Structure 1
Amino acid sequence: MKIAIFDISNYHYTYLYSQCKIFENDRVDFYVSKFLKKSMEKEGVLNNSNFNWIVLNDFDNKYKYYKKVIKTLNNKKYDYVFFNTLQENWLLNFYFFITVNKNIKINLTLHNINIFIKCSRKLKIKRLLRTIIRRIAFYRANSYNVYGENLKIYLEKYLMKKNINKPITGIPFSIYENIKCLNDMNNKIKIIIPGTFDLKRRNYYDIYNLLKNIKNFKFELILLGRVKKDFEEEILLEKFKKFKEVILFEEYVSEEVFDEYMRKADILLAPIIKQIEMDGVLEEYGITKETGVSFAAIRYSLPVILPKEIKVMKEIEKIALVYENFEDLIRIVTKLFDDKALIQKYTEKAKKISYTYTPLKQREKLFNELKLGR
């Protein structure tokens, strides 16, 4: 199969890596930013002779780059073009989707679903423009990619309502590669909260109060993400610093450091807030937007603790421990601390789930979803 992957953002390199592994035996042209190519170089995928990299460098003219890409796409016969991320320059998004040949099949990744199918009640001119361009991209796409079965079900209902008959794929945000974990529960139990320290996305006040209630146990809590530089976050962060059990990072956490800590983790904790506003539209974790912690649980074969109000990704339901309130959170954590064998039991379940996310299995699944030949 001959495909193209387009992404000139500086985000979602984990997702691009998943695609590299899934398509490693296919001829692939990557139209990507310099940052993403460097990220893939660190992962060791540039040596694949099937891959061709057409890079947007830092000081290149984006319009000229788009023009060159579109001309190439229109002339080459790709089986599919995977469009990973809409750009911040919305006029370029518009230019791409109205100019690229209509015969080219495009798979559009929806990192957030509602933002493509709903609009804000407060439509300022720029927001209105972004909404229109997202709709153009949505209806131009021949298929959609979402992260997980819950999101697929939600999108399917919308497409049926609108009488749109297009495939939905589930290329995962990250894949499983039998990562060697270094966790050692004979020492301290390591709990990790991955992601930016952001009070709009996670309830860190519950975590702060949790720390005050579990001081008698041997553990480490790692806040594995940079701190959002807002006043409220910085005030709370100072309180976290008073606990000797807490490891935190005030700046960007590199992929290497992130991976090092995740390999040593025993449990993931995700105090996620149910809804988040994206460009004036509400997205709901587990239904219209998937949380990265779900795929971290898959990639590193780890159990995860989540609030009950979050709809758990179907694929990880067996390794998700859900809490209804703060008291329930304390109960779950102390139960795991008291019974390390229980953590091991959940870890073994996690490994079985992870095996379904190998590149080969995900490739087979994708080809079935798109009804493509091998």
Structure 2
Amino acid sequence: MNIGIFEIDHYEFAYSLYRIFDYRVNKIYFFVNQNMYEQLKNGLGRSAEKCYWFVKEENDTLNYFLNKVKQVIDNEEIKLLFLNSIYSDFGKYSSFIKNTGTKSVVTLHNINNWIKSSDSGIKSFFQNRSKNNIIKNSAAINVFGESIKNYFNSVSKYRKTVLTLPYSIYEHSKMPESHNDNIQFVIPGSIDSRRRDYQSVLDVFEGITKDIKNITLTLAGKPVWEYGLEIISKCKRLKEQGAKIKWHDDFVQQQEFEKIMHGSDVILSPINKEMPFSSKPEIYGLSKATGATFDMARYAKPGIMPEFFSVPNELNGSLLKYSNRDELSALIKNIASDSNYLTQLKLKALSNSHHFSVDIIRDKIEPEIEELFKTDRW
């Protein structure tokens, strides 16, 4: 089957889709911008030579590029198109999907923004209508997890297929070995007050690193706005006081990010319960996924997250939860003082990650994809 992947923002997901569908006689066509092209070419290595690439140039308008995509779909008889990361220009994408002779699978990252937006005004009216048409005319919707699928089904009138293709996949076969006694905690993602509560984590580390010397905290993300810079300033002060803290002043390149993640022991994700988004906030684990859980799966790492977060079944046993700073402090102290406990967490994380392996995902998704081509409900 000829399969198209349209992605301009999320490297991890585009990479995962390629690995999942790169088998049998499938041919993969990428529709990307220049930045995504460079990331995927580097990430896929020699496999990139098997793909067909169509790159949006810097001066290309979206309409021009979408028309180009449509021509390729028609000429190459692309049967299935994964359309990801639609954040704006909803009217243009709506017309594209309606007039494209292929089955489109649209990935939704922010369910409330798509379904429950209450923005007023004429512009919002047309945007919401276009969003509804995008969903209506898609062959299937993809969301990142069963809990989000259940939420989407409960708040929408969509009655066609809802897929749960994962944002990231697991490809490694063994648990990385620790080379020293220093335990590496990492917080992946941009330093953004809308997404995560860094202040509480730094307060906890400030309190425990006076007595516990075998832990390091790495912030693997770019500081965003004034809040991000304030967090970096506090990291510098804590480092001067003897805490082992690392940070980045700019965007973390993919190669560096992967190096950090592979070298870490525990992924810490102090997400907020809600993320402000337009007129309706997104709820993590319910209307919006967090990349941290997929990092835990991809890199086979145990994790720590707030109590309110709904743990995916695939990560049961390797994802610890806390409800306040004292509980977070206790978890970190326990991990730092008991090497056997950390080893057991790592082994469980390694076992859980196999739920995200390509073969298992293919076994699950293949019947659902086949079903799309048995019906004309699109």
TM-score over 0.5 (shorter chain): yes
Number of residue pairs matched by the alignment: 364
Residues 239 and 72 (structure 1 numbering): CA distance in 2 closer, same or farther, change over 3 Å? closer
Residues 22 and 62 (structure 1 numbering): CA distance in 2 closer, same or farther, change over 3 Å? same
- For 2:132, the aligned partner's letter is R
Deviating more after overlay: 246-255 vs 362-371: 362-371
* Aligned residues of 2:145 and 2:289 also touching (Cα < 8 A): yes
Match of residue 210 from structure 1 = 204
Alignment deviations for residues 250-284 of structure 1 (CA, whole Å, 9 cap, x no partner)? 11110111111111101111111001122222211
Match of residue 298 from structure 2 = 299
**Cα displacement (A) at 1:145:** 0.8
Match of residue 236 from structure 1 = 231
C-alpha separation in 2, matches of 1:324 and 1:87: 32
2:60 maps to 1:60: yes
**Cα displacement (A) at 1:89:** 3.2
TM-score of the pair, normalised by structure 1? 0.91
Residues 56 and 189 (structure 1 numbering): CA distance in 2 closer, same or farther, change over 3 Å? same
**Cα displacement (A) at 1:45:** 4.6
Q: Tell me the secondary structure at the aligned position of residue 136 of structure 1.
A: helix
Match of residue 136 from structure 1 = 133
Alignment deviations for residues 39-80 of structure 1 (CA, whole Å, 9 cap, x no partner)? 111013564565211221222243222122223334553332
Alignment deviations for residues 197-226 of structure 1 (CA, whole Å, 9 cap, x no partner)? 111211112112101221121111001101
Matches within 5 A, 1:71-86: 71-74=71-74, 76-86=76-86
Deviating more after overlay: 171-180 vs 333-342: 171-180
2:109 maps to 1:111: yes
Match of residue 274 from structure 1 = 273
Q: Which one of 18, 21, 33 corresponds to residue 19 of structure 2?
A: 21
Match of residue 351 from structure 2 = 352
C-alpha separation in 1, matches of 2:199 and 2:260: 23
Deviating more after overlay: 108-117 vs 89-98: 89-98
Matches within 5 A, 1:124-163: 124-159=121-156, 162=157
C-alpha separation in 2, matches of 1:333 and 1:112: 31
* Aligned residues of 1:20 and 1:45 also touching (Cα < 8 A): no
- Which one has a larger percent helix, Structure 1 or Structure 2? 2
**Cα displacement (A) at 1:366:** 1.3
- For 1:196, the aligned partner's letter is S
C-alpha separation in 1, matches of 2:266 and 2:50: 38
**Cα displacement (A) at 1:370:** 2.4
C-alpha separation in 1, matches of 2:326 and 2:121: 43
Which runs of 5 or more residues in structure 2 are unaligned?
374-378
Match of residue 32 from structure 1 = 32
Q: Which one of 180, 183, 187 corresponds to residue 189 of structure 1?
A: 183
**Cα displacement (A) at 1:185:** 6.5
* Aligned residues of 1:4 and 1:80 also touching (Cα < 8 A): yes
**Cα displacement (A) at 1:35:** 1.6
**Cα displacement (A) at 1:360:** 2.2
* Aligned residues of 1:90 and 1:133 also touching (Cα < 8 A): yes
Q: Tell me the secondary structure at the aligned position of residue 309 of structure 1.
A: coil
**Cα displacement (A) at 1:144:** 0.9
Q: Tell me the secondary structure at the aligned position of residue 44 of structure 1.
A: helix
